[in-house]
Amino acid sequence: MTVMDEEENEEDQSDDVSPTMAPKAVMTALPNMRLEGIWESLVFGRAISTDLLHCITNMSKVICNLLGKSLAEESESGYQSQE
């Protein structure tokens, strides 16, 4: 078996990826709380659909908005309980 044959076999196997072997990302730097620059700080092991990246971005924005509101509510209730 040649090196090219091995590479072709690896490519064939990569087409049948199970959910546990989904694309993985490594974060090279932590983004700020607003997640600005998150995609620049990620290094992906393989190509990922841009639709998936857009969905993840939208989800992260929603979560940040929810967390921001809940943190603001907690701080307001904390101030009220201290009074």
H or E stretch at 34: none
Q: What is the CA radius of gyration of the chain?
A: 21
Say what the pTM is: 0.30
- Which position has the token pair 């701080």? 75
CA–CA gap between residue 24 and residue 27 (Å, rounded)? 10
58 inside domain:
yes
10 inside domain:
no
63 inside domain:
yes
Q: Which residue has the higher pLDDT, 12 or 60?
A: 60
Query: Stretch 25-52: mean pLDDT, rounded?
Result: 71
Task: Give per-residue pLDDT as tens, 42-82.
Answer: 777 777 777 887 888 888 788 888 887 665 565 565 545 44
Length of the chain: 83
pLDDT of residue 81: 47
pLDDT of residue 27: 67
Number of domains within the chain:
1
68 inside domain:
yes
* pLDDT band, very low/low/confident/very high, at 20 (cuts 50, 70, 90): low
Q: What is the mean pLDDT of the chain?
A: 66
> What's phi and psi for 10, nearest 5 deg?
-65, -40
- Which position has the token pair 């983004």? 31
